[in-house]
């Protein structure tokens, strides 16, 4: 089975930075895109940032200019560099891998931004 292993979450003060990593392993026929979603309690899961196999990126308006998504296709790994963090960024962040016929999800990692 495909596994997505996330790391890098934690507690930071407003204005701080975190770098999330997501490494995919297992039998993957193809990868169309990888990305990060987040979900706060009582709120809908939303796309934070995505990157296609062709290198196109997409960001939520709320994080544009602060977050940067990148990938290493050879390692099937995606990263999310988060700078200038705000309390509103507090959520569980989920890694997503979009393959040709199925989507895979990581277990989620908690990001808490608090003074």
Q: What is the pLDDT of residues 94-110, one digit of tens each?
A: 999 999 889 999 999 99
pLDDT at 74 over 90: no
Give the pLDDT band of residue 84 (cuts 50, 70, 90).
very high
Taking the C-alpha atoms of residue 58 and residue 50, their distance in angstroms, rounded to an integer, is 5
Q: Can you give the pLDDT at residue 51?
A: 96
Q: Can you give the pLDDT at residue 28?
A: 75
Q: Can you give the pLDDT at residue 55?
A: 92
Residue by residue, DSSP assigns 8-41 as --EEE-TT--EEEEEEEES--S-EEEEEEEEE-T
CA distances in angstroms from 46 to 30, 37, 42, 71, listed in the order given? 24, 5, 12, 20
Q: Can you give the pLDDT at residue 97?
A: 94
Taking the C-alpha atoms of residue 43 and residue 97, their distance in angstroms, rounded to an integer, is 22
Lookup: tokens for 50: 């995505």
| C-alpha gyration radius of the chain | 13
Taking the C-alpha atoms of residue 62 and residue 96, their distance in angstroms, rounded to an integer, is 19
Q: What is the pLDDT of residues 16-54, one digit of tens each?
A: 999 999 999 987 778 899 999 999 999 999 999 999 988
Q: What is the mean pLDDT of the chain?
A: 94
14 φ/ψ angles, rounded to the nearest 5 degrees: -55, 140
């Amino acid at each position: 089975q495909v596994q997505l292993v996330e790391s890098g979450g934690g507690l930071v003060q407003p204005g701080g930075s975190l770098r999330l990593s997501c490494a995919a392993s297992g039998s993957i026929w193809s990868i169309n895109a990888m990305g990060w979603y987040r979900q706060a309690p009582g709120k809908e899961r939303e796309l934070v940032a995505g990157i296609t196999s062709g290198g196109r990126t997409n960001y939520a308006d709320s994080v544009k200019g602060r977050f940067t998504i990148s990938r290493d296709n050879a390692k099937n790994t995606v990263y999310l560099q988060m700078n200038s963090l705000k309390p509103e960024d507090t959520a569980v962040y989920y890694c997503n891998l979009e393959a040709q016929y199925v989507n895979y999800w990581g277990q989620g990692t908690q990001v808490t931004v608090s003074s």
